[in-house]
Amino acid sequence: MFLTIVVFILVFSLIVFVHEIGHFVMAKRAGIKVEEFGLGFPPRIFSYKKGETVYSLNLFPIGGFVKIHGEDGKKKDDPDKERAFYSKSIWTRAKILTAGVAMNFLLAAVLLSLGYWIGLPAITGDDQTVDAKIQIADVVSASPADQAGIKMGDTINAFKLGQETINISNISQMQEFVDEHRGEEIIVVINRGNQVLEKNITPRVVHSETEGPLGVGLVKTAIVSYPWYKALYKGFLSTIQLTYMIVIALGTLLWHLVMSGKLAMEVAGPVGIFDLTNQATHLGFIYILQLTAILNIHLAIINILPFPALDGGRLLFLAIEKIKGSPVSGKIEGIVHTSGFALLILLMIAVTWQDIAKLF
């Protein structure tokens, strides 16, 4: 558990650091005064000042910020108004706001490229058996697999029935065996990271077509690697593909939420992401790297949404300023962003509560 906590903090610190460094560098390049660059949220543990900028390490490690002079609007008698955020053109301010998201996408592409060079798990055809394995892609809540403690990412090696051991080499073979022994207790031999575990499980006799007797989604995977130049191409291409898939999934989720008032799929909050990190930590470094890349893309997409308090919300106000020819009242913008931040906190609490409820 300690290792998972360390990995969780390091993963989010990396994501936040890269995001904030995008804002920081772009603001500096625009000649804007940057008052503070902080990792974590206050209270402050350590800080030092270099030039005009304070660099700080703060107590709460999940998060970070860049304090840009004039970001909150005009101030009377500002001696640094020429170097304030509000004094720059709309285009310059837009570049600063989008720089963080751009850096997250770039980091995702770099991590995936590195992964493809080292060797990333990839889905293969069921007829391919070289260095391949049957892996759990999804576990249905309250299913026999879920109750037995089988988790996403586990690799199925064999089944035991009495004294007999049946090695598994492809998905169809596994499905046939499970179908033949519905209602009987069998032992599933799985790999989880470096552990070999045995789980007692009884396949359901009655089940829906979409869930199956065990309640798992299966894929056949193999570790695939490429030369560095192909790995770069694959990494950037996968980032584009994942971005498209996540945008479609998010759009579907929001559409169903608006139309029915219900979420069409499960949403993971901090607790859910911590659980995913725990699973990736047990599976190994390459899975942590893959998860970090995917989280980068998720957080970049969410951050660019036109919602108050997010970078996308601030971009929306810049668009309104461009259309009307003058800035929106600082007081109104402040109220909108504060309200948006409060809604985000409430949403985070609701999702976290949902994550915790799933654990018990």
- State whether residue 208 is helix, strand or coil: coil
Answer whether the bond into residue 121 is a cis peptide, omega within 30°.
Answer: no
Which active-site residues does the annotation give? Answer: 20
* Bridge partners of residue 281, in order along the sequence: none
Does 110 share its domain with 129?
no
Integer angstrom CA distances of residue 231 from 107, 114, 221, 245: 14, 7, 18, 21
CB 67 within 8 A of CB 34: yes
What six digits make up the tokens of 304?
């660019």
Closest by CA position to 107, among listed 199, 18, 10, 47: 18
**Residue 267 confidence (pLDDT) above 80:** no
Domain final position from 174, 201, 224: 224
Residue 271 lies in a domain: yes
The 10s digit of each residue's pLDDT in 158-212 is 888 877 888 877 788 888 888 888 888 888 888 887 788 888 888 888 777 677 7
Does 109 share its domain with 139?
no
What six digits make up the tokens of 252?
């579907």
Does 170 share its domain with 110?
no
Does 289 share its domain with 353?
yes
Does 126 share its domain with 114?
no
Q: What number of CA atoms fall less than 13 Å from residue 288's CA on the CB side?
A: 21
**Alpha helices (H) in the chain, listed in sequence order:** 2-29, 90-118, 144-148, 171-180, 228-260, 270-283, 285-304, 311-324, 330-359
pLDDT class of 129 with cuts at 50, 70, 90: very low
Mean pLDDT of 7-20: 90
pLDDT given at position 105:
96
**Residue 325 confidence (pLDDT) above 50:** yes
Structural domain count, the chain: 2
Residue 165 lies in a domain: yes
Residue 318 lies in a domain: yes
Residue 236 lies in a domain: no
The 10s digit of each residue's pLDDT in 270-324 is 667 777 787 788 778 888 998 999 999 999 998 998 888 889 989 999 999 888 8
CATH number of 155's domain: 2.30.42.10
Residue 19 lies in a domain: yes
- State whether residue 123 is helix, strand or coil: strand
Does 81 share its domain with 161?
no
Higher pLDDT, 105 or 163: 105
By residue range, what is the domain housing residue 108?
A: 2-119+264-359
Does 162 share its domain with 81?
no
Does 115 share its domain with 127?
no
Residue 219 lies in a domain: yes
What letter represents residue 108's amino acid? A
